[in-house]
């Protein structure tokens, strides 16, 4: 990327192993096109979603975060996706207090057969985040925050 | 356990004011298990403050650390270097923790990140309820193990009052009448005779009315031995 090129929107997508990640895989197998803004992080279950980890994603330059778990009622671990939904709601409140738009994080539910829907929500999330513009936490050159998880300074 | 909840971020930002280097100090005991000020919450708060201060255009250098217990010298002594490097210390321990830090490091400016609420327990995941008011003179042996001081809105010793309706306190439909609970418990244990004993006015001097409290155990003190 050139020195003066505008930074691309970056979205971190936390996808559960059993459904959403498999749906993303299917979207690939089906050769569906969706914006290349996604950075998919596979997690065993969205119940594993950690509020602090999500905040770090934002702190280190993510413009949006997408959490995708199994369909409600179909969580491989019974209720992990319901717990994740509550955590996403908490992050929305935290983002508002911090001064970011709560729409920068959204929760979605997919089955592993919903490859097309995965591509659709990727487009939706990308457009929604692009509409909000780049995160004010992202420096002009698109680089991330110089602090690590405990606030310690990390490499340039 | 001591139950607390975090202050709103806006209030915390006001407490930090212009300070640039902020040390958030969590506590690994009571406030960890009520999800108010443990390692995880201290991390979330520190991260939130870093992000908020950057958005506000005045980035702060916010770090965090958590000690096992913020209310004992042995555990907070190790914080000396970190506290000296900070402009301000944001304690997310209970009110005792904040004061312990101030007493140990009198030169440090320590502010609270939590509102300490009560002594209680989780009644379900995510719900904490008050159980003890630390009145200093326990009567649980007479009341079936249910405390009317902590759980009756009027702190009645001879209840219930006329505000008890269908087992619910008149101040809130979500608050069971403590004296109804006591009655039910004593009845189920065939100890209803206890409720017929009229309790005299309580001596509140053992509670907050007697001023700040102190317990001394001479058998445990080391200082007295040294000074002899």
Q: How confident is the model at residue A1 (pLDDT cuts 50, 70, 90)?
A: very low
For the domain B2-118, what is the CATH code? 3.40.50.2300
Across A30-50, average pLDDT = 95
Give yes or no for residue A124 having a pLDDT over 90: yes
Give yes or no for residue A77 having a pLDDT over 50: yes
What pLDDT was estimated at residue A145? Answer: 53
pTM for this prediction? 0.90
What pLDDT was estimated at residue B194? Answer: 94
Residue A49 covered by a domain: yes
Q: What domain count does chain A have?
A: 1
Residue A54 covered by a domain: yes
Across A118-131, average pLDDT = 96
**Is-contact A43 A95, C-beta < 8 A?**
no
Across A51-69, average pLDDT = 97
Q: Which residues of A touch B64 (CB under 8 A)?
A: 150-151
What pLDDT was estimated at residue A2? Answer: 46
Give yes or no for residue A6 having a pLDDT over 90: no
Residue in this structure with the two tokens 């402009």, named with its chain if needed: B87
CATH 3.40.50.2300 boundaries in chain B: 2-118
Residue A153 covered by a domain: no
> Which chain A residue is nearest to residue B39, measuring alpha carbons?
A150
* Contact criterion met (CB < 8 Å) for A94 and B48: yes
As a whole number of angstroms, the distance between CA A28 and CA A15 comes to 14
Give yes or no for residue A55 having a pLDDT over 50: yes
Which residues have C-beta within 8 Å of that of residue A86, sequence separation ≥ 6?
Answer: none
Q: Does B184 touch chain A (CB under 8 A)?
A: no
Cis peptide bond upstream of B160, omega within 30: yes
| CA A85 to chain CA mean position, Å | 13
Give yes or no for residue A84 having a pLDDT over 50: yes
Taking all residues of chain A, what is their mean pLDDT, rounded to a whole number? 89
Classify B19 as helix, strand or coil: coil
* Contact criterion met (CB < 8 Å) for B48 and A150: no
A78 strand-pairing partners: A75
Give yes or no for residue A153 having a pLDDT over 70: no
Q: Determine the structural domain holding residue A45 and report its residue range.
A: 11-132
A147 strand-pairing partners: A153
pLDDT along chain B (228 residues), means of 10: 97 96 98 97 98 95 98 96 97 98 97 98 96 96 96 96 96 96 97 94 93 94 66
Ranking A3-12, A28-37, B10-19 by mean pLDDT, the lowest is: A3-12
What pLDDT was estimated at residue A151? Answer: 56
Across A101-127, average pLDDT = 97
Q: Which residue from A56, A98, A147 is facing B52, i.e. has the nearest CB?
A: A98
* Contact criterion met (CB < 8 Å) for A137 and B55: yes
Across A95-115, average pLDDT = 97
Shortest Cα–Cα distance, A129 to chain B (Å): 18
Helices (H), B133-215: 148-151, 178-188
**Is-contact B123 B181, C-beta < 8 A?**
no
What pLDDT was estimated at residue A156? Answer: 43
Q: Does B62 touch chain A (CB under 8 A)?
A: yes
Shortest Cα–Cα distance, B86 to chain A (Å): 13
CATH of the domain at A124: 3.40.50
Cβ-based neighbour number of residue A48 at 10 Å: 16
B126 backbone φψ class: left, alpha, beta (φ>0; ψ -120 to 50): left
What pLDDT was estimated at residue A8? Answer: 81
């Amino acid at each position: 990327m050139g020195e003066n090129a505008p930074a691309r929107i970056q979205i971190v997508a936390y996808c559960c192993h059993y459904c959403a990640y498999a749906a993303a895989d299917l979207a690939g197998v089906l050769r569906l096109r969706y914006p290349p803004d996604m950075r998919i992080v596979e997690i065993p279950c969205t119940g594993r979603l950690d509020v602090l980890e999500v905040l770090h994603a934002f702190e280190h330059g993510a413009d949006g975060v997408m959490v995708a778990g199994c369909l409600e009622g179909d969580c491989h671990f019974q209720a992990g996706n319901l717990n994740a939904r509550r955590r996403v709601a908490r992050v929305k409140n935290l983002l508002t207090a911090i001064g970011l738009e709560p729409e920068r994080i959204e929760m979605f539910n997919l089955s592993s057969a919903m490859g097309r829907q995965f591509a659709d929500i990727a487009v939706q999330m990308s457009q929604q985040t692009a509409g909000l513009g780049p995160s004010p936490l992202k420096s002009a050159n698109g680089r991330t925050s110089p602090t690590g998880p405990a606030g310690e300074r990390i490499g340039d | 356990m001591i139950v607390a909840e975090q202050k709103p971020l806006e209030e915390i930002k006001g407490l930090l004011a212009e300070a640039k280097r902020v040390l958030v100090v969590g506590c690994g005991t009571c406030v960890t298990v009520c999800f108010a000020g443990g390692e995880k919450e201290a991390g979330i708060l520190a991260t939130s403050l870093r992000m908020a201060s950057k958005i506000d255009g005045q980035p702060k250098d916010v770090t965090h650390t958590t000690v096992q217990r913020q209310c004992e010298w042995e555990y907070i002594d190790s914080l000396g270097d970190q506290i000296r490097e900070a402009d301000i210390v944001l304690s997310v321990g209970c009110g005792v923790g904040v004061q312990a830090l101030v007493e140990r490091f009198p030169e440090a400016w320590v502010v609270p990140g939590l509102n300490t609420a009560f002594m209680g327990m989780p009644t379900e995941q995510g719900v904490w309820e008050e159980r003890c008011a630390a009145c200093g003179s326990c009567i649980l042996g007479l009341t079936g193990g249910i405390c009317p001081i902590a759980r009756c809105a009027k702190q009645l010793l001879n209840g219930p009052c006329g505000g008890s309706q269908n087992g619910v306190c008149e101040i809130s439909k979500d608050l069971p009448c403590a004296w109804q609970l006591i009655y039910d418990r004593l009845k189920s244990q065939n100890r209803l005779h206890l409720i017929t004993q009229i309790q005299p006015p309580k001596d509140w001097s053992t509670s907050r009315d007697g001023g700040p409290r102190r317990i001394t155990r001479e058998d445990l003190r080391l200082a007295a031995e040294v000074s002899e």
